[in-house]
Amino acid sequence: MTDAPILTFDAPSRLGKVASVDTSRVLIAVENAALLPRAAVGSLVAIQGATAQEFLIGMTERVTRQLRDQTAQPDPMEPATLTVEVVPDDCLRAVLLGTYRTITGTVRNLFKRGADSFPQIDRECFLIEGGNLQRFMGLLGRDLDETQRLELGHFLIDQSAAAIANGDRFFQRHAAILGSTGSGKSCAVSLVLERAHARKHANIIVLDMHGEYASLAKPPKSEGGKAQSPIAAAFKIAGPGDLTNPEQGTLFLPYWLLNREEMLSMILDRSDQNAPNQAMRFTTHVRELKDSTLRDEKQETVRATFTVDSPVPYKLADLLAKLRDDDTGTKPGKKDAEIKGDWNGKLTRFISRLESKIEDRRYGFMFKPPEAALKYDWLAEQITKLLAAGEKDLGIKVVDFSEVPSDVLPIVTGVFARLLYDVQFWMQAEKRTPFVFVCDEAHLYLPTRDDADAVEKQALVSFERIAKEGRKYGVSLLVVSQRPSDVSRTILSQCNNFLVLRLTNDQDQNVVRRLMPDSLAGVLDGLPLLDTGEALLLGDAILLPARIKLKFPAIEPLSQTRAFWQEWGESDPDSAAVAAAVETLRRQSRTSGGFA
């Protein structure tokens, strides 16, 4: 790096002078009319600061030319006639983003966020373009050392400059990738995962709602026919077809992992007049059953302090038997006659709700776990698979939730995240490896609170806790959604970095606007106009909020936009495949065999 100043301005790049200033914006009276057409919205301007070494850097929000009538200089030949001429008033409004200094102390060429001083009226202003722009954009990623660089693509205002975010900052305090359907979010996630894979021990858990990221674990052959190596390990929440002989990587979330509230949100009908009794008996029995497991396992230290919420296995059949005993129980009455017990008939509906969940194969991952999942050591083995690097050292784990029924999706994602978070929470601080949850399609299970039902509220509790406290324990969220207006505000407002792709809906744009400082309102106006794969990168991971073009990932997720028109001209629908799909629908499973 040379020590020469990066920004050097000559007369042709001089725009004009500062005409008015408010806290974050400057109005520049443009004197160099030839430059005006080149100063597009989004271009950068430099304003001479308090000293010769200091420039304030701003981003153009608005460029205007107003025509004004003006009396021309009187013609000496005809001094009596007054002519009126039309002159342009050129103005440019910019929002202040940072301060650049050619030298400060011993450091040369330093750019920092925030304006250190307010620009003064009549200060000289310049347009940053050409060589100045290239050098300036290069400066943005310069101070990041190799271990922090997260390269996402290139800047739109200068295609030759790589857009590099600070990888630490990007993940440290939660990030969000937002954009309408088809704007390129899933591809952006793949790209981030690909970059993370280059770190030796990345630790990321992707909650994959559509099985889109399966390609990262089983990459298709590249064009040359060469097999690409996988960058992620695949897991799947067991579907109805995985209950017998589950394949490797199939995950179960047995009922005993759920805490009391989570379990009750699924099976208790709060409008039932016996609901308090039902909840009480359930709690008592679960506690007793967990206690007896701990006694049988000789886990006396755990037994001394466990609670009803502790994940300790017990048999559902035993629970049902105890509940049934209550429901049909009798007690001695007067004169030795047996009369109805205290709970007699009060648990019938609770039991039948529980039984119907147990019978439903779609809930098999919870209520029909394999024998092994009732062993005391099973949980530690499972969590180790998810939190430590598994086979082939693949630290990125894609968990396919696509076969989980939508009504329990929130609770399943919530339990899953809570368990991993709790384990991290209780781990010795110096032994923790930080990890990230990528919450794809977050609007499905992290809804705004107003319209959340009991089940959804439980999921929110887990994720909101991570959003609020996760930083301290090295757990972070990457929230991905096409409907930011449907995603919990508590979670979004904890995000410090945003990658916002094309966003066409008004409501969604407003949500994003409210999450950003006011000064960026102008920059956000361009959101509906972004092309696929173009995004605004905002937050503390990058020095300047900037429009960037994301690099296309090496392994594309299975979410390509289909070429309707073209495909209609090429292939006819496959009737055998349609018939096979009907059977798959009946079976509720794509995995088990039986169709070609």
Ligand X SMILES: Nc1ncnc2c1ncn2[C@@H]1O[C@H](COP(=O)(O)OP(=O)(O)OP(=O)(O)O)[C@@H](O)[C@H]1O
Which of the listed partners (ligand X, Mg ion, none) does 552 bind, with a CB threshold of 5 to 8 Å by partner kind?
Answer: ligand X
Tokens encoding 220: 């298709």
Q: Between 83 and 181, whose beta carbon lies closer to ligand X? A: 181
Q: Which of 27, 535, 112, 533 is nearest to 524 (CA)?
A: 535
- Please give the span between the terminal C-alpha atoms of the chain, in angstroms, as a whole number: 61
Q: What distance in Å separates the CA atoms of residue 240 and residue 364, rounded to the nearest whole number? A: 6
Q: How far is the CB of 187 from ligand X (least distance, A)?
A: 3
Q: How far is the CB of 170 from Mg ion (least distance, A)?
A: 19
Only one of the segments 98-106, 179-187, 241-249, 406-414 lies at the binding site for Mg ion (rule: CB under 5 A); that segment is 179-187
Distances, alpha carbon 408 to alpha carbons 226, 319, 365, 378, 453, in Å: 41, 22, 11, 23, 11
Q: Which alpha helices (H) appear in 60-184, and where do they start and end? A: 130-142, 167-172
Q: Between 91 and 503, whose beta carbon lies closer to ligand X? A: 503
Q: What distance in Å separates the CA atoms of residue 125 and residue 115, rounded to the nearest whole number? A: 15
Q: How many residues sit close enough to Mg ion to count as binding (CB under 5 A)?
A: 2
Phi-psi region of 353 (alpha: psi -120 to 50; beta: other; left: phi over 0): alpha
Q: Between 161 and 501, whose beta carbon lies closer to Mg ion? A: 501
Q: How far is the CB of 220 from ligand X (least distance, A)?
A: 14
Q: What distance in Å separates the CA atoms of residue 187 and residue 571, rounded to the nearest whole number? A: 27
Instruction: Give residue number: closest CB to ligand X.
Output: 533
Q: How far is the CB of 442 from ligand X (least distance, A)?
A: 11
Q: How far is the CB of 184 from ligand X (least distance, A)?
A: 3
Q: How far is the CB of 552 from ligand X (least distance, A)?
A: 5
Instruction: Give residue number: closest CB to Mg ion.
Output: 186
Q: What distance in Å separates the CA atoms of residue 522 and residue 43, rounded to the nearest whole number? A: 12
Q: Which of 382, 325, 319, 379 is nearest to 354 (CA)?
A: 319
Q: How far is the CB of 501 from Mg ion (least distance, A)?
A: 10
Q: Which residues bind ligand X (CB under 6 A)?
A: 179, 181-187, 482, 532-533, 550, 552, 559-561
Contacts with Mg ion in 480-509 (CB under 5 A)?
Answer: none
Q: Between 128 and 480, whose beta carbon lies closer to Mg ion? A: 480
Residue 186 found at the interface with Mg ion (CB under 5 A)? yes
Which of the listed partners (ligand X, Mg ion, none) does 545 bind, with a CB threshold of 5 to 8 Å by partner kind?
Answer: none
Q: Between 158 and 212, whose beta carbon lies closer to Mg ion? A: 212
Q: How far is the CB of 549 from ligand X (least distance, A)?
A: 7
Q: Between 158 and 441, whose beta carbon lies closer to ligand X? A: 441
Which of the listed partners (ligand X, Mg ion, none) does 542 bind, with a CB threshold of 5 to 8 Å by partner kind?
Answer: none
Q: Which residue has the tokens 């103005």?
A: 91
Q: Between 185 and 346, whose beta carbon lies closer to Mg ion? A: 185
Cβ contacts of 514-517, under 8 Å, gap ≥ 24: none
Tokens encoding 273: 């007049």
Q: Between 220 and 345, whose beta carbon lies closer to ligand X? A: 220
Is residue 150 within 8 A of residue 167, CB to CB? The reply is yes
Q: What distance in Å separates the CA atoms of residue 528 and residue 485, rounded to the nearest whole number? A: 15
Q: What distance in Å separates the CA atoms of residue 196 and residue 192, rounded to the nearest whole number? A: 6
| Residue 322 backbone phi and psi in degrees, to 5 | -65, -40
Binding site for Mg ion (CB under 5 A): 185-186
